[in-house]
Amino acid sequence: MTAIRSLIYVALFYLWTAVVAVGCTPLLLGPQRWTFAMFNVWGRGVTAMLPICGIRVEVRGQQHIPTGAALVAPKHQCMLDVFAQFAWLPRSCFVMKKELAWIPWFSWYGMKAGAIVIDREGGSKTMRQVIREGAQRFRNGQQVVTFPEGHRQPPGAPPDYKPGIAALYRELNVPVYPVATNAGVHWPAHGFIRRPGLIVFEYLEPIPPGLKRAEFMRLLEERIETRSNELLAL
């Protein structure tokens, strides 16, 4: 039964995505706010269909969801971690690897929303680019979403936080909003099975700008990992 319900959800997910992506193509010719609205509708649709799989989605810490310029640092366990940010953040853009820039519609909408497309192998050049373009996005009042581990990690796996977010935090001088989740328990990183249960996305207390690098990284990892591990017990 779980497999059948998962297949139905996956089919509806792709149908919903295709209808929204193609149907909203004319929005690309309009102001940026139209694209943000489209992302919001699409992301909420993705989560609204999850009861088909016996999954409920709960958003906690809504008082900590940023509405202005901020770095958002979610725990990354599956692709739903990406979709959820579209649903809840008002003006989000992502740091996106260049390989995704070849995907029709996804890349078009991403670029319209201000995605920062990077070469992961670019080293210091890439970091300078992210800082430069991130500053531009902040002047536009956007939320820049970057996953501090850089890739998906299985639920409960040892953390692997990269130093890049510390450089952004230092250079851009904006608060960082950690996000904890248990999404990977119910939406695995690979395969189509969606396991019944409660998925929580919890926006945590923001980390103010100005901390020393080591203290910032300690706080970021401690807040995200502690709460994400607690959510695994749900």
Is it the case that residue 59 has pLDDT exceeding 90?
yes
From the list 219, 185, 184, 203, the residue with the least C-alpha distance to 145 is 203
- Which domains does the chain carry? 2-231 (3.40.1130)
Give 81-99 pLDDT, tens digit per residue. Answer: 999 999 999 999 988 888 8
Cα distance between residue 65 and residue 77, in whole Å: 20
Is it the case that residue 195 has pLDDT exceeding 90?
yes
Is it the case that residue 126 has pLDDT exceeding 90?
no
Q: How many helices (H) and strands (E) does the chain have?
A: 8, 7
Quote the DSSP letter at residue 31: -
> Which residues on adjacent β-strands are paired with residue 177?
72
Supply the pLDDT for residue 40: 95
Give 165-194 pLDDT, tens digit per residue. Answer: 998 899 888 899 999 999 999 999 999 999
Give 42-51 pLDDT, tens digit per residue. Answer: 999 999 999 9
Structure tokens belonging to residue 158: 């040892």
Q: pTM to 2 decimals?
A: 0.92
Distances in whole angstroms, Cα of residue 51 to Cα of each of 56, 77, 78, 150, 192? 6, 20, 18, 29, 15
One-letter amino acid at 47 equals T
Residue with tokens 């430069």: 132
From the list 228, 81, 64, the residue with the least C-alpha distance to 151 is 81
Q: Give percent above pLDDT 70 in the chain.
A: 100
Supply the pLDDT for residue 185: 96
